Structure 1
Amino acid sequence: MGGETPKYTVEEAIAAMGFGKFQILVLAYAGMGWISEAMEMMLLSFVGPALQSAWDLSSNEESLITSVVFAGMLVGAYTWGIVSDKHGRRKGFIITATVTGGAGFLSALAPNYTSLIILRCLVGLGLGGGPVLSSWFLEFIPTPSRGTWMVIFSAFWTLGTILEASLAWVVMPRLGWRWLLALSSLPSSLLLIFYRVTPESPRYLCLMGRTTEAIDVLEKIARMNGTELPCGTLVSDHQTELQEKSIDPSEDANLLSPRTENATRKGLDSNIGGISSLLVLLSPKLVRSTLLLWVVFFGNAFSYYGLVLLTSELNNGNSKCMPTKVQSQESQDVNYKNVFIASFAEFPGLLIAAATVDRLGRKLSMSAMFFLCCFCLLPLVFHQPEGLTTGLLFGARICITATFTIVYIYAPEIYPTSVRTTGVGIASSVGRIGGILCPLVAVGLVHGCHQTASIVLFEIVIFFSGICVVLFPFETKGRELSDTVSSPKHIAESA
């Protein structure tokens, strides 16, 4: 026993090698996916009003263009999370990039409203794979700097929103909405071009018993970062857990054998997926975190996309309850300008998230921003001058950007590798329900001259989301990622 070979986990290997050139390349690839999703979501602020005028759509038909994207994302986030946990992160995001890019480009050629609705729903289905990329990137980051680098990753979303707002400002008046849809699908195509050089997550490989492949990826990281792997044998949390539970020393040897390792992989393949994964997420050790996370994702999506739509609606003359035709004729330029300006609110939000997430922790940072967002929106219960309205929405968007950024850091941290993308995917799906409903509020109520009711509803949703953050069972700042629900460190943190 004294001469036993040293062992190390993927977590320890990543920590030893640090953040270097390899992670920068992974960040660039995952960030391109985040840019793609942001652009596809942001263009909804421009395409809806343009199509309402071009195709003489009703307010409900305009809202449906946005809602079907979220409906597709609801299904996609759940589906791609399961695919990613069962068949690998790479398979998850290559399928989503193909669906998003293909359907996005074809929507620019849609001959009628019905075909456009179907294609935008498919775009949403592909966009549902966004959590796969964020979880994939997360699994390459050393624990001490995880919060900061995940905020930097989130900056690609902001870059996408500003890029889309700029593109719309230039393209829409000159070339129209079809060109905007076509050009917005290009970032997804870049994911397909560079897919062959992307590595699989070593955490996933190790959990599935594919330790040789995991070591190959870790050795590649070490070479690119100019560092070395720890001495010893690579093991997963699952193997460590089995060894600690073992009483018979002879069983220890068997647990480390390739045959048992392969059986572990097969057992995980058969048990983790679909309904089984959902049951794990709702197990006693995770149920509180899961249910609270669902509420927070719902509140975040409802509020974020609602604020994006409100920026154009309240500054389109709608806050004065003008007739729709007058609104569309008089204020298209103002619409582009104000949405463009409001997009820059995300940069301060990211800076706030970066400054607080590793200092104050995830819970305190999120809850403070939710409550501050309520304060910013409160004056909009009554009609305000256009300049003040833009300023208040700017402040609210700073806050909601910070909470959205931090929850996408917190969510994958509370789940083990075995159900990480499924857990984040399902939470994201619940958030998409908020996205489906928010156009009915942001567009429907404001068009119907019910701005007060709309803002009050946003206030309730945002405040309740902040309360749920306070009730989260534990803080994840500085906490190592776990591989299984029952791993010792996961139990310790969940207690």
Structure 2
Amino acid sequence: MEPFVEYGQLQDDTDFTGANYHSMNVRNSNKPDNKQETHSYHGDGGTRASHQSSESANGTPANETINGVQNDPQNNGQLDFSTNNSRQLDKGDSGDGDKPMNGLEGGQATAEGPGPGPVEFTVEEAIDQLGFGRFQIQFTLIDSVLHMTESGELMLLSILGPELVCTWQLEHWQKAIISTVVFFGYLLGAPLLGKFADKFGRRKILNIVGVCLFYYGVLTTFSPTLIWIIILRGIVGACIGGVGQVNVLYSEFLPSKVRGFWLTVVSFFWVIGAVYVTAVGLFVMPTLGWRYVVFITGLPLLIYIACTYILPESAHYYAACGKREEAMATLKKVSEVNKKPLPEGTLKVGVQEDQRGTFRDLFQDKTTSFTTVLLVFIWFSMQFVYYGVILLSSELFAKGNVCAGKEQNSTGGCLESCDSLTRADYASMIWTTLAEFPGMFVSLIIIDIIGRKKTMVVQSIITGIFIFMLFMCTTRLWLTVYLFVARGMISGALQTVHVYTPEVYPTHMRGLAYGTLKSMGKTGSMVTPFFAQMLLHTSPKLTLSVYAGLCFVSCIFIMLLPIETKGRKLLSSVKTVDGGISGNIQT
């Protein structure tokens, strides 16, 4: 008689090779006194095994036999007795051993139905188990370079415009066009590159964007005329539209519990990029001129280009495409770097589709359509106000106007005047730029406490209040304070919508949705120069009313959003029958 092994001591990977075990008895002592259960496992050293079970209930035997358990021929004849292939005896089946059990004849029993099958895990579950480790830290540093570059290229507009007005004797409408064409390029590039990222992969698009952004940024320094500036900055704008995909890729490698936190942390490098460019303008513009400022602005991209080999493609993207091996290779790389094991079992992947993320998907059902429409306006208003505050800062400081609410009846001389930024102006712009740090810090603290929606509402309201305070005639110090708070709060609100958007859409359309909504936001950035750089000189009160009013109206749209994504896992596909994006499947 083979020795008994206590029930529960067997592991899923126990080797039942016939060379080691001819038979084994397993006794379950966790039974009532009047019931005993014994399981016998027999291996013939080849490819078959039998499972016999007997249970005594009030002295009446019950027998169970499961034959033909196939072992893995590539695992040295090891037999599989894992819990997924075993059947628990139905405690109601007692009596004659020849009595059919669970509808099966002759005492033969198998698992009911097809059985539970192998254990599966999703990409999201794997990322959550691997946690935030050295891999994510490396990614954070690489991601930060692109954030700095995007911020720097856009911040450059606020210091390049006033300089070109004086250098090339431009009028203010021409200065506004230089800013507008960048955002127009962004408007075209963001959705197109987002669609390509969903179809061909995030990493490929980001590599192309990094090289092109550096190349055309450097070419801008050799522009001989205004038309060349407009063409090249338009291409740069299109490239900047693709930089946002790094946020999508980064979010797909972050554990769900800390995703909001770390996406907000990365936004601090956006502020660093803006401060960097303003400081370059402060020290380089007066001595070497605008061409060197443009060149130095793009230098951080060389760091990103040199480090792109570290970044793998998104496992979420591979899983959504049905590419299990590629997704597992990515997850194994994260596992090796973080020195943590992957979950046991098989990775769950989707069905490979030819169509990846179409614009129709953004409006495929009521919930998704409603969310998309609301986010279009929210992105528009926040980008309009954010870049408006940036441009207002340079305009008000350049004019030396500390009474922004005072109407001006100038007929044109003011519009054609040359107002270069002084060192004091650059210093004030640095202070207002630094305001984004406390704004981001506020978002960092409350985003996972009160949620994404309420964070955006609180910061938008505060922004509107402090823009209205610019109506008061005051000193330059208080003007700086008002702009400081307004910029800090709107930057925090804008960063929160950056966190919210990739969380609310599923993998197969996440890049497209994020790129499209950012491009819709850039229509606000494209329009805002005509308010902050032109209308301001004619009607400051109307200009400030538009900016403050949009802050308050956007709060209504934010509260109407049907989904709060705080603590929500990333999603892979859409179940339209369950209410669109509110019924997504996790990966």
- Secondary structure, counterpart of 1:128 in structure 2: helix
Q: Does 1:13 align with 2:126?
A: yes
Which residue in the other structure is 1:229 paired with? 342
- The match for 1:372 among 442, 453, 462 is 462
Relative distance call for 1:202 and 1:333 in structure 2 (3 A) is same
| Equivalent-residue separation in structure 1 for 2:359 and 2:421 (angstroms) | 47
- Secondary structure, counterpart of 2:575 in structure 1: coil
Q: Does 1:121 align with 2:226?
A: no
Q: Identity, % of aligned pairs?
A: 32
Q: Does 1:136 align with 2:249?
A: yes
| Equivalent-residue separation in structure 2 for 1:427 and 1:106 (angstroms) | 29
Assess if the C-alpha contact under 8 Å between 2:118 and 2:345 holds in 1: yes
Q: Does 1:427 align with 2:517?
A: yes
- Secondary structure, counterpart of 2:571 in structure 1: coil
Q: Does 1:452 align with 2:541?
A: yes
Equivalent residue letter for 1:306: G
Q: Does 1:215 align with 2:328?
A: yes
- Greater Cα radius of gyration, structure 1 or 2: 2
Which residue in the other structure is 1:339 paired with? 429
User: How far is the alpha carbon of 1:486 from its aligned partner?
Assistant: 1.7
Assess if the C-alpha contact under 8 Å between 1:376 and 1:393 holds in 2: yes
User: How far is the alpha carbon of 1:2 from its aligned partner?
Assistant: 4.4
- Secondary structure, counterpart of 1:56 in structure 2: coil
Matches within 5 A, 1:433-472: 433-448=523-538, 450-472=539-561
Assess if the C-alpha contact under 8 Å between 1:317 and 1:331 holds in 2: no
User: How far is the alpha carbon of 1:66 from its aligned partner?
Assistant: 0.5
Assess if the C-alpha contact under 8 Å between 2:152 and 2:277 holds in 1: yes
Relative distance call for 1:488 and 1:279 in structure 2 (3 A) is closer
Deviations 1:47-100, CA, capped at 9 Å, x for gaps:
100000000000000111100000000001011100000000011111211221
Relative distance call for 1:487 and 1:134 in structure 2 (3 A) is farther
Which residue in the other structure is 1:26 paired with? 139
Assess if the C-alpha contact under 8 Å between 1:474 and 1:494 holds in 2: no
Assess if the C-alpha contact under 8 Å between 1:473 and 1:494 holds in 2: no
Deviations 1:446-478, CA, capped at 9 Å, x for gaps:
233x11111001012111111111110010000
Which residue in the other structure is 1:243 paired with? none
| Equivalent-residue separation in structure 2 for 1:470 and 1:494 (angstroms) | 20
Name the structure where helix makes up a greater proportion of residues.
1
Equivalent residue letter for 2:389: L
Deviations 1:235-268, CA, capped at 9 Å, x for gaps:
03x4xxxxxxxxxxxxxxxxxxxxxxxxx31xx2
- Secondary structure, counterpart of 1:484 in structure 2: strand
Which residue in the other structure is 1:253 paired with? none
- The match for 1:162 among 254, 271, 275 is 275
Assess if the C-alpha contact under 8 Å between 2:194 and 2:513 holds in 1: yes
Matches within 5 A, 1:4-403: 4-236=117-349, 238=350, 264-265=351-352, 268-269=353-354, 271-273=355-357, 277-284=358-365, 285-317=367-399, 319=401, 324=414, 328=418, 332-403=422-493
Relative distance call for 1:423 and 1:3 in structure 2 (3 A) is closer
Assess if the C-alpha contact under 8 Å between 1:318 and 1:446 holds in 2: no
Assess if the C-alpha contact under 8 Å between 2:120 and 2:348 holds in 1: yes
Assess if the C-alpha contact under 8 Å between 1:23 and 1:141 holds in 2: yes
User: How far is the alpha carbon of 1:316 from its aligned partner?
Assistant: 1.8
TM-score, length-normalised on structure 1?
Answer: 0.90
Q: Which runs of 4+ in 1 moved over 3 A?
A: 318-331, 487-495
- Secondary structure, counterpart of 1:384 in structure 2: coil
User: How far is the alpha carbon of 1:130 from its aligned partner?
Assistant: 2.3
User: How far is the alpha carbon of 1:192 from its aligned partner?
Assistant: 2.0
| Equivalent-residue separation in structure 1 for 2:239 and 2:232 (angstroms) | 11
Matches within 5 A, 1:412-423: 412-423=502-513
Q: Structure 1 unaligned runs (5+)?
A: 239-263
Equivalent residue letter for 2:322: G
Which structure is higher in RCO with an 8 Å CA cutoff and minimum separation 6?
Answer: 1
Assess if the C-alpha contact under 8 Å between 1:382 and 1:452 holds in 2: no
Which residue in the other structure is 2:568 paired with? 479
User: How far is the alpha carbon of 1:493 from its aligned partner?
Assistant: 3.4
* Larger mean Cα displacement after TM superposition, 47-56 or 328-337: 328-337
Q: Structure 2 unaligned runs (5+)?
A: 1-113
Assess if the C-alpha contact under 8 Å between 1:302 and 1:434 holds in 2: yes
Relative distance call for 1:233 and 1:217 in structure 2 (3 A) is same
| Equivalent-residue separation in structure 1 for 2:568 and 2:552 (angstroms) | 27
Instruction: Name the Cα RMSD after superposition.
Output: 1.9
Equivalent residue letter for 1:272: R
Name the structure where strand makes up a greater proportion of residues.
2
Assess if the C-alpha contact under 8 Å between 1:148 and 1:357 holds in 2: yes
TM-score, length-normalised on structure 2?
Answer: 0.76
Assess if the C-alpha contact under 8 Å between 2:278 and 2:429 holds in 1: yes
